[in-house]
Amino acid sequence: MRKTKFYFVLLAIIGLTSFKFITNGPDIKAGLFKVSIMYPGGKDKTFDMDYYEKSHMPMMAKLLGKNLEFYEIDKGISGRTPNDEPPFVAVGYFYCHDVAEYGQSVAKNIDTILNDIKKYTNIQPVILISEIKQVK
């Protein structure tokens, strides 16, 4: 009985801590636009996550300016099962207020962006621009 109470209290603490972490995260809301830049994995594909995290994404954030609400980075660790290779080695997300302004910022800085991409990967990314419709 005592062991059960301990585990219950431990789970409650973890749950409350996790909830607090989630509620203190970025303010994702309907109406924002999400730009997903997905880097497919595969043979002979390279990706320098350290450079991507510390140099490329902060550079992009500066180029996007006040239009950018925040950004996220995912590192692929597996596919559908833990033994499957991840379909994407990384995915970067930009959450923007105005999709047209995003496009203008990228177009204005395309040479800088393309030259920087060469510093961390040889992968041609797949890009999806979407509108966030619902957050619960």
Whole-number Å distance between alpha carbons of 41 and 45: 6
Residue ranges covered by each domain of the chain: 27-131
More confident residue, 20 or 131: 131
* pLDDT at residue 25, rounded to an integer: 53
Whole-number Å distance between alpha carbons of 54 and 90: 14
27-131: CATH architecture: 2-Layer Sandwich (3.30)
pTM of the entire structure? 0.78
**What tokens were used for 3?**
């062991």
Q: Which helix (H) or strand (E) holds 61?
A: helix 57-64
Read off the pLDDT of residues 62-84 as tens digits, 9 standing for 90 and up: 999 999 999 999 999 999 999 99
* pLDDT at residue 26, rounded to an integer: 65
What secondary structure, in 3-state letters, does 5-58 show? HHHHHHHHHHHHHHHHHHHCCCCCCCCCEEEEEEEECCCCCCECHHHHHHHHHH
Q: Which helix (H) or strand (E) holds 128?
A: strand 126-131
Whole-number Å distance between alpha carbons of 4 and 74: 36
**pLDDT at residue 14 is higher than 70:** no
